[in-house]
Amino acid sequence: MATTNLKIDGLDFDDIKQNLKLYLQSQNQFKDYDFEGSGLNILLDVLAYNTHYQSYYANMVANETFLDSALLQPSVVSIAKHLNYVPKSYRSAIAYVDVEFLNANSPTIQSISNGTEFIPAGSRFTGTLGSQTFIFTSTQNVKVEAEGTRYFARNVEIKEGSVKTITYVYDPNSNIDQKFIIPEVNVDTTSIEVRVSYSINNTSGIETLWTLVNDINKVGSDSKVYFLQFNSTGQYEIYFGDGIIGQQPLPGNVISIFYRTCSGSLANGIGKNDSSTIRSFRYAERMSSQTTLLLGSDGKYSSSFGGSETETTQSIKYYAPRNYQAQERAVTAEDYRAILSKDYGEQAESVFVWGGEDNDPPIYGKVFLSIKPKNATRLTQLQKLAIAKNILKEKNLVSIIPEVVDPDYLYLVLDINIKYNTAKTTLAKETLEQNIKNLIYIYGIDNIGKFDRDFNESLFVSHINTNYNPPVISCNIDLTLKKKLEPNLTTITNYTINFDNELYHPIDGYTPILTSSIFGYQDATSTASPKPNVDAYIDDDGYGKVRIYKLVGGSKIYINENAGTIDYTTGKVTLSNFVPQYLSPETQTDITFSAIPKENDVLARRNQILILNLEDITVTCSPQTFRYDPYSASGSPFNGTN
């Protein structure tokens, strides 16, 4: 009898055992052997299990050698190292403050004049958030200057965390593979300073700062540089050149590593509720002083920002190849996105970049970057400056000017009417309405709310039907688009409100589809002098003009019938020479414009983000009573007679 070859196509336990049986049964010795219930059956189990384990581990090992399939952080970090990618560390929260020295402890006028009075780098500040107190230190020397009889240190940059030092003696003779490890997991690698002195007893050279290498093409044999890598234990490690690429320390040299450990995102938001009388920061070096956060252009204090945790494994897998493609330089829009996502990714919920040639109108020689931060709608001016200074300055092309702009928010207002079958649910009408409203709100968080996310009516309705089937019979949506404008109340200005979607306009002269919230406007129709300010609103005339009107006895009286234009095809509304006198007490900061779109499928263009707030969702459920008979799968509506 010919012996059957052992099949190796199956790697599951049952397949392996069955293949072993078939192989043995093909031999004369085991031709009529009953494997079930025999001692040999146990041996087959052991062989099958052993083979199964080996195949499983071989598969896992193979997976861990590729970035796409690797799961373990040491594997991902090791592979990313081949792409010259160093995972992002913890980042310290940053704040910018003004320090005023009170009269009881003021510097002398003479010391101010001589320039000898200053806040030295490394000075301690404290910041309080709730019941927690965080330590901050200043990053550079800042002079104290007299302003009349008061003394200020302006625009002091402070970072959260403690500055620490670790030293090593370079000894390649006894330890050829000597490692210089920073023994902290919450180190901020942007704070690392490396200095090398001649020996323990000779500190010459300690003043020279060795720099981190980003481009080895600029490194020579005598360049005082160091390299940084992330090791398998989750710690950062310093290493040096070999005398060809980068200078190599000499035996006996003392290597001093200065670094900052921080609390990451826990220290973000300190000072967000500050006022002229409430201050979260204090200059700990001088009790007789008061520390104030910088005041932004919007009149609000800028709280601490920028703190984040170390990069996740999933983020490393995503950004390592993209960072390698960018090669530490920003040329294409994708390069900018990769760099921002790597260096600012933990603070940014979504990032969008486009070239000036794609702008409306085109602006050549510029690249625009829009960032939606976490837990906020826009970046502060200081955050924008920090991105341009700390992230883009060294990587941007000289001929291209980067500009950080705010996201363009387009709000969706949904009025949803649902018919549901009372026989298919035990929920009360009000409960069903609230449940569906919450479902829609969560849908908005998961599916829109970021760049490049459109609203698709069919997918939206399908989501409701899937989660509330079979009670929901039909779903009808009335959708309105909403934009917010923060106008200047003192200067005549032209404004553009762009819905970026075609608006509903079946015929010329159609009923107004543009409306606004209340605002104050000078009444040109009044005969009084000076002309009074009245509550006013905006609409369109159906022919492409924007009008301003007041309400008198419920009727519209137009104050300005040529206040701007509306393009129904592009969704662009312009206001000419517009200067409102006051804003609605409800909004206080903006005027809300609403328009009806032509379609319920809404596109988010360029840096536009669609937002669905809970207060903009209205759900009305209409109960439908059905009579079921044993011969009908669907039943028929009960109207009281059938």
Over residues 238-247, the pLDDT tens digits come to 999 989 999 9
Residues 6+ away with beta carbon under 8 Å from 439: 463, 464, 467, 468
CB-CB contact of 228 with 236 (8 Å): yes
Structure tokens that stand for 601 in this block: 């499928």
User: Which is it for the CA torsion 333, 335, 337, 340, positive or negative?
Assistant: negative
Picking from 48-57, 89-98, 102-111, which range would have the lowest pLDDT averaged per residue?
102-111
CA proximity to 234, closest of 85, 73, 342: 73
Cis before 361? omega within 30: yes
DSSP string over 273-301: T--SS---EEETT-SSEEEEEPBPTTS-B
User: Any idea which residue has 């400056």 for tokens?
Assistant: 385
- Amino acid, single-letter form, for residue 231: N
The radius of gyration of the chain's CA atoms, rounded to the nearest angstrom, is 34
Strands 162-169 and 142-143: unpaired
CA distance 515 to 540: 8
pLDDT value at position 397? 73
For residues 581-590, give the mean pLDDT.
83
pLDDT value at position 384? 83
CA 474 from chain centre, in angstroms, equals 37
For residues 554-583, give the mean pLDDT.
95
pLDDT value at position 146? 86
pLDDT value at position 414? 95
User: Any idea which residue has 């794609």 for tokens?
Assistant: 358
CA distance 304 to 93: 6
User: Which segments of 579-641 are extended strands (E)?
Assistant: 582-583, 591-595, 608-611, 617-624, 626-627, 636-637
pLDDT value at position 1? 46
Residues of the chain with pLDDT > 70, as a percent, come to 90
Each residue's pLDDT tens digit, 305-322: 888 888 888 888 887 887
CA distance 295 to 275: 10
With the CA atoms of 326, 330, 332 and 338 taken in that order, what torsion angle do they form, in degrees rounded to the nearest 10?
Answer: 50
User: What confidence tier does 588 reach under pLDDT thresholds 50, 70, 90?
Assistant: confident
CB-CB contact of 583 with 520 (8 Å): yes
CA proximity to 512, closest of 482, 547, 536: 547
User: What confidence tier does 327 reach under pLDDT thresholds 50, 70, 90?
Assistant: low
Q: pTM above 0.85?
A: no
For residues 337-346, give the mean pLDDT.
71
Reply yes or no on whether the pLDDT at 630 is more than 50.
no
Each residue's pLDDT tens digit, 510-549: 999 999 999 999 998 888 888 999 999 999 999 999 999 9
CB-CB contact of 203 with 197 (8 Å): yes
Report in angstroms the alpha-carbon separations of 28 from 19, 22, 31: 17, 12, 5
CA distance 516 to 563: 13
CA distance 622 to 418: 6
Mean pLDDT of the chain: 86
CB-CB contact of 483 with 500 (8 Å): no
Structure tokens that stand for 259 in this block: 């670094």
pLDDT value at position 345? 61
Reply yes or no on whether the pLDDT at 298 is more than 90.
no
Q: At what angle do helices 73-82 and 313-326 cross, to 10 degrees?
A: 0
Tell which wins on pLDDT, 424 or 137: 137
User: What confidence tier does 299 reach under pLDDT thresholds 50, 70, 90?
Assistant: low
pLDDT value at position 632? 47
Each residue's pLDDT tens digit, 134-170: 999 999 999 988 888 888 999 899 999 999 999 999 9
Each residue's pLDDT tens digit, 94-128: 999 999 888 656 666 666 666 678 889 999 999 99
Picking from 49-63, 416-430, 534-548, 551-565, which range would have the lowest pLDDT averaged per residue?
49-63
N residues, the chain: 642
Reply yes or no on whether the pLDDT at 507 is more than 60.
yes
Reply yes or no on whether the pLDDT at 432 is more than 70.
yes
Tell which wins on pLDDT, 342 or 382: 382
pLDDT value at position 629? 47
Residue 258 phi, psi (nearest 5): -100, 135
> What is the C-alpha end-to-end distance of the chain, expressed in Å?
78
CA distance 527 to 283: 59
pLDDT value at position 600? 94
CB-CB contact of 607 with 367 (8 Å): no
Each residue's pLDDT tens digit, 221-234: 889 999 999 988 88
User: What confidence tier does 51 reach under pLDDT thresholds 50, 70, 90?
Assistant: confident
Picking from 161-175, 281-295, 620-634, which range would have the lowest pLDDT averaged per residue?
620-634
CB-CB contact of 319 with 342 (8 Å): yes
User: Which segments of 320-471 are extended strands (E)?
Assistant: 348-355, 366-373, 401-405, 408-421
DSSP string over 5-73: PPP-S--SHHHHHHHHHHHHHTSGGGTT---TTSHHHHHHHHHHHHHHHHHHHHHHHHHTTSTTT--SH
For residues 361-386, give the mean pLDDT.
83
Reply yes or no on whether the pLDDT at 618 is more than 90.
yes
Residues 6+ away with beta carbon under 8 Å from 160: 92, 93, 94, 95, 127, 134, 135, 136, 262, 263, 267, 304, 307
CA distance 310 to 398: 31
CA atoms within 13 Å, Cβ hemisphere of 304: 32
Strands 366-373 and 401-405: parallel
Tell which wins on pLDDT, 48 or 497: 497
